[in-house]
Amino acid sequence: MDNLNTHASESFVRYVAESMGYSDDLGKKGVLGILQSVQSRAKFLTDRAHRICLIFTPRHCSWLNQIEMWFSTLQRKVTGAVSFTSSRSVDQRTIGATEITQGVTIWCLHEFSVLSRNTSIDKH
């Protein structure tokens, strides 16, 4: 699981505790016990003695970072410094710039005439 603080929320800790049958007092958020702080909640969630033990990946491994990088590249290489006259021209430029091959995005800028979302792009 990515290391975002939303994954150590009070409600998530309560859900995990209930799911694993944890019956001890969880405390009160911001006051005491397991629910006191993000750190205490994360410690509870990563306790290897529990039936449910989460493993947090480093923050830079978040899938959101990957998506943000993809859109950043799209903006820089495709839509940056370009004026579009319609949403259709944005679609054409975007479809022409990205080619998905076995889960890997290959950036290639080509000029295409009329394309629809369902049009397949032939490789030459």
3-state SS, residue 100: strand
Task: State the burial class of residue 57 (Cβ atoms within 10 Å of its Cβ: 0-12, 13-18, 19+).
Answer: exposed
Tokens 């410094």, residue located: 81
**Would you state the pLDDT for residue 60?**
65
Residues 3-37 have pLDDT tens digits of 666 678 999 999 999 999 999 999 999 999 999 99
Residue 99 · residue 84 · CB < 8 Å: no
Domain locations along the chain:
5-60, 63-107
**Cβ neighbours around 44 below 10 Å, total:** 21
Cα→Cα distances 117→21, 95, 103, 109, Å: 48, 8, 18, 17
Question: What's the predicted TM-score (pTM) here?
Answer: 0.49
Question: In degrees to the nearest 10, what's the CA dihedral of 44, 50, 54, 58?
Answer: 60
**Would you state the pLDDT for residue 50?**
92
Q: In whole angstroms, give the CA distance from residue 124 to residue 119.
A: 16
